Amino acid sequence: MGGWTAGTGGTLILSLILAGTLLYPGWPKQGIALAEQKAEMSVPVDKTGVAAASGQAAEYHTPLAGESFHTVFMGKTVDIPARNRGHVNALLLGGVFYTPKQGETSGSPLGAIYLKRMWEKSRTRNVICFFVNDLEYDRSFGNLELVTRFENNTLPVGQKEVVNNQEIKSSDAVWGTVLGSLGTGLRYKVAPFQVDNDLRLQLLGKVGYFYAKRTNDTGPNLVLPPSTMLYGTRIFLLNALAIAKDFLPKERHFATHFIFSSSFLPVFLHPFSWASSSSFS
């Protein structure tokens, strides 16, 4: 197998309410700011367009994630303290149940640790599953960023092909990848200037390793690709925008949320030794 082997992964999430977001009259007022700029604080405005007096209560808005909130529910006072969304620890434990079964597998365990830290000049985001990890650390220089990533998929057990919902036992093999990435990126904060509201463009160089090994169940006629170094590039574009506005000012308990997020990430990887191999072993 020679030449470039392109594995293109792309995710694009387009909400049907995007049109409503773009047509919303308040959209042009949201604006865009550079990462070094501070978002302007909203000032209550009455129907005549005059800003409310400083002593007047601020206009109600739907609480955003991380904001403090006070209310009374069924006669009981409820106070939710503010939360720093730039400092997150999360643990996910669960499982996946398949119906119908996939081959002989009816379920799989699920577990992950999520760590997120945002500082003035850097940030890190990590999904840790021990055998499958996705780690990223970025250092900011204004709107320019130095981006580093580490990814691995190294399950220690054999994996079988499933055809017509039947496992092919002779296809059992242990395989995995380890990848490191380094590159530059651009990042701009966008309205409403919350933790995850930004526009990012990254260009990364990738170097890694692919391996494949036989197990006791691997058939004698199964041809495995040789273990090899990998190198390539990754282009990542992300636009994350969230807007929460009241469309019925007289009915303050009704609110409409718009969330738009899209990403585009073509990945090109080249197996170093496959180009010179006439056959797999």
pLDDT in tens, 164-213: 888 998 999 999 999 999 999 999 988 777 787 888 899 999 999 999 99
Return d(Cα 249, Cα 256) in angstroms, integer: 11
Give the model's pLDDT for residue 105. Answer: 86
3-state SS class at 7? coil
Return d(Cα 107, Cα 101) in angstroms, integer: 8
Residue whose pair of structure tokens reads 């055809």 in the numeric block: 163
Give the model's pLDDT for residue 176. Answer: 96
**pLDDT tens-digit readout, 70-129:** 888 899 999 989 888 899 999 999 999 988 888 888 899 999 999 999 999 999 999 999
Q: Which residue type, as a one-letter code, is found at position 74?
A: M
Residue whose pair of structure tokens reads 């405005």 in the numeric block: 45
266, 11 Cβ separation under 8 angstroms: no
Nearest of 203, 106, 198 to residue 147 by alpha carbon: 203
Return d(Cα 154, Cα 132) in angstroms, integer: 6
More confident residue, 62 or 244: 62
**pLDDT tens-digit readout, 45-86:** 443 444 444 555 567 777 777 888 888 889 999 998 988 889
Instruction: Name the average pLDDT for the chain.
Output: 74
Give the model's pLDDT for residue 39. Answer: 39
